[in-house]
Structure 1
């Protein structure tokens, strides 16, 4: 297969990675990754203690060059989940930074400390000859049981990154800024491997801060920013009092939000202040990237764009019938096919088979198609499709409507059993001012006026904050526990 990182093979003194004060050129990265690749070639699989550091990038790059599947480990993973991942994936060793303190669960694995300063060049290959060989094994969040290991091939990684090159006009001249975790598809594959495949550079903030974004996009010369909605919400909140942040965002070529829907209100605030539109994309661990709003498109708040090159996408009814309507209203489950798809769930042929309808992967995400083919996600099939009074309603559009109310800071919508309606719509709201909360009736009328009367929430719960995971994704199954805790509090 073609080299995954042509610029790394060629070598140069151009910056490849910058984490805080540490910068690695392509020559330096090649030496560090090449030396490590030579040491791990026969390891079978390697676990990577995925801290937000240059060492993690070196470790994963080395594994890809050596043709050894890398298993990124979230440093915040609990003892039981870590034990499951290790038992399931059986890595031969663990790669970590010299100063990293590893949990007891990793004590029995041979450890190699990753060095980033290597004086001598060790020849390295372009990676495995077989594009179907495993590149990474990334574990799901485990929301429906123990986490599953998603086997991602070299083919899938290259196909997804190359499709984004086309959609976003991504080149070697781009400097990507982000602060995303490196144990996840968004931060690691898109945010680290993406720039390296293009021959560009990445500046990782280590930890997100509005000041860091302004610095690296401003005087730092960053051209692209990757973030999640929580980050963009904080950016939007800071714009009024931070002219340097406004200038930095205005000069960026591309602002991308992913991993969850960016509220329309935040889209509008950023666009109004900077003249820049945040574009969204849609992907998941099993599929990498499926759709994206192309660079240069008119503003499309709430849309995740068009299918990427090579990706087939369809919407289906509950009985599997394909939904052909491009009317912006008919809701169906997204199914996808293409070279971006994962190979299998590790050790789970049953789960792999159940995830597919023939060659189509069942995403579990519900969406509508606009007349021009753009995709708008309305929620997850398991938690966000509400059947109320004979209507199929997506929670996402109600959440956006609630966020349009000036007294609402955060909102989530779920359904619960109702003897009359089948399911009633329930809103979970964080007020912008806890002392001046809107009434449930006010919010219901607000939604009914914006959308339709049958989409208004019948019950409203107020919380101090909404439960989220490390990527800022809302944990809807944790909402009842959050409410119970708030009432005890």
Structure 2
């Protein structure tokens, strides 16, 4: 099959072009080809390999090398607790772990063979083991990545490329097996939707153990032959610097865009930098409409949203040449089929912007299976083969998708109505006294469920009264969607991706 990374091999090689930059460390495509050739040769026939996925050059090199060797990589979240990490290692059974030389690995990884990935573009890229024995001479002998190492390009499109573990909100994390086919079709569909080319330079600061930061944020630019500039950690000044210095695209999560929106009024250079970007993309959770509008007003540039998940990679997106409508995630990507269904599985046919249904998808972007979980794999699909996402949405008359929340936590059935928490959250965020908001449901003897708001006030000393917030929502949406109870918090519990952990909110009562 065609290579995952044409710029690293064959006639499309571009050895002198910038490929990766993390802080002040960088690799050209020739240097990246050399180091991944060497490491791929060592990984051949290794079976699954774990990658200690810190936000570093070594992680990117390790994953690319595994893909070029044709062995599945299992990215490990460095913040995982020992119990969760032990579960993932026991489930995926990697033969070894790849890590940066200075990484201190926790006890559950102690019994695995370790390979240290040493990257030094100034004196050649090397790969060593725990004894720090290097193979720099071998990398040099390969002549800058001429493709002499065994590569995964001969692997079939259904071959496993990654095993990415879900967040485990309803039980132990499940390993979603991502085939090479899903990666290539998703990245090529996004290239079509976003007009993504080798001339684009992407800046981001996302973690590298999940789909957004790793597949979209690292593998995406490398597949196009473009460049990645990873910030290590998010910082508004660093974003402004990189966008002012030639970066064309920014990927982020809503928390990052919220911080950008907060910083814009006092930072004209940031506004100029964001306004000059070709594409600002938000994902992993819904971007509040309020932040959409603040960024657009200050920069003249609208953020576009896309929608995906671990098991499906990307499903929909606003197109670069389409309308970046706040609160929507656009249209299905090329090759992706999407439908909304009732609770009994009956497909919804109304594109009226009001009828709520569960999103189901099918297409070449889907995962193969949950590792070692045939029961969970079977349960994830409807009888006719569509994948049940668990996300609830409505479709506008032109087909645009608006997600209103998760079926398990964000669909509130109150007084005979189906209410999506997301639209109430957006309404609350438009109140000047609200900094952050989350909405959940709780049992009610009369309504079935009542709407509950969790508010971080803009001024903790003078929070907006509950009655005022209820009236605000009723006026913006409708009376049956108003919150019946309001809790005030100093912050909302969030995960590494900035998603609000609603199951944790009950512990704050």
Question: Would the TM-score normalized by the shorter structure come out above 0.5?
Answer: yes
CA contact (8 A) 1:386 1:392 kept: yes
Task: Please name the residue that 2:51 is paired with.
Answer: 48
CA contact (8 A) 1:180 1:186 kept: yes
1:17-96 alignment to 2 at 5 Å? Answer: 17-96=20-99
Q: Tell me by how many angstroms 1:85 deviates.
A: 0.2
Task: Please name the residue that 1:5 is paired with.
Answer: 5
**Which string of whole-angstrom CA distances, capped at 9 and with x for unpartnered residues, describes residues 376-406 of structure 1?**
0000000000000000000000000000000
Task: Please name the residue that 2:246 is paired with.
Answer: 221
Q: Tell me by how many angstroms 1:265 deviates.
A: 0.6
- Between the aligned partners of 1:55 and 1:192, the Cα distance in structure 2 is 12
Instruction: Give the one of 365, 372, 375 matched to 1:347.
Output: 372
- Between the aligned partners of 2:419 and 2:478, the Cα distance in structure 1 is 11
- Between the aligned partners of 2:110 and 2:445, the Cα distance in structure 1 is 54
**Which string of whole-angstrom CA distances, capped at 9 and with x for unpartnered residues, describes residues 286-307 of structure 1?**
0000000001323300000000
**Which string of whole-angstrom CA distances, capped at 9 and with x for unpartnered residues, describes residues 223-261 of structure 1?**
000000000000000001111101110110000000000
Q: Secondary structure at the residue paired with 2:314?
A: strand
CA contact (8 A) 1:411 1:430 kept: yes
Task: Please name the residue that 2:475 is paired with.
Answer: 449
Task: Please name the residue that 2:134 is paired with.
Answer: none
1:275-354 alignment to 2 at 5 Å? Answer: 275-354=300-379
TM-score by length of 2: 0.94
**Which string of whole-angstrom CA distances, capped at 9 and with x for unpartnered residues, describes residues 104-155 of structure 1?**
1101000000122244226133524311000000000000000000000000
Instruction: Give the one of 190, 214, 217 matched to 1:191.
Output: 217
Task: Please name the residue that 2:187 is paired with.
Answer: 161
- Between the aligned partners of 1:172 and 1:36, the Cα distance in structure 2 is 25
Task: Please name the residue that 1:487 is paired with.
Answer: none
Q: Secondary structure at the residue paired with 2:461?
A: helix
CA contact (8 A) 1:369 1:375 kept: yes
Q: Which moved more, 1:345-354 or 1:108-117?
A: 108-117
**Which string of whole-angstrom CA distances, capped at 9 and with x for unpartnered residues, describes residues 60-100 of structure 1?**
00000001000000011000000000000000000000111
User: Does residue 172 in structure 1 map to residue 198 in structure 2?
Assistant: yes
Instruction: Give the one of 417, 426, 430 matched to 2:443.
Output: 417
CA contact (8 A) 2:183 2:365 kept: yes
Q: Secondary structure at the residue paired with 2:197?
A: coil
- Between the aligned partners of 1:13 and 1:85, the Cα distance in structure 2 is 39
- Between the aligned partners of 2:449 and 2:160, the Cα distance in structure 1 is 43
Task: Please name the residue that 1:132 is paired with.
Answer: 158
- Between the aligned partners of 1:61 and 1:234, the Cα distance in structure 2 is 31
CA contact (8 A) 2:51 2:98 kept: yes
Q: Secondary structure at the residue paired with 1:468?
A: coil
CA contact (8 A) 2:46 2:95 kept: yes
Q: Tell me by how many angstroms 1:12 deviates.
A: 1.3
- Between the aligned partners of 2:43 and 2:251, the Cα distance in structure 1 is 31
User: Does residue 108 in structure 1 map to residue 111 in structure 2?
Assistant: yes
Number of aligned positions between the proteins: 482
CA contact (8 A) 2:71 2:152 kept: no
Q: Secondary structure at the residue paired with 1:127?
A: helix
- Between the aligned partners of 2:153 and 2:69, the Cα distance in structure 1 is 6
* Runs (4+) off by over 3 Å: none
The answer for unaligned runs of 5 or more in structure 1 is 485-489
- Between the aligned partners of 2:321 and 2:256, the Cα distance in structure 1 is 22
User: Does residue 240 in structure 1 map to residue 243 in structure 2?
Assistant: no
CA contact (8 A) 1:19 1:203 kept: yes
CA contact (8 A) 1:65 1:128 kept: no
Q: Secondary structure at the residue paired with 2:306?
A: strand
Task: Please name the residue that 2:452 is paired with.
Answer: 426
Q: Tell me by how many angstroms 1:30 deviates.
A: 0.3
TM-score by length of 1: 0.98
Q: Secondary structure at the residue paired with 1:268?
A: helix
The answer for unaligned runs of 5 or more in structure 2 is 120-124, 127-138
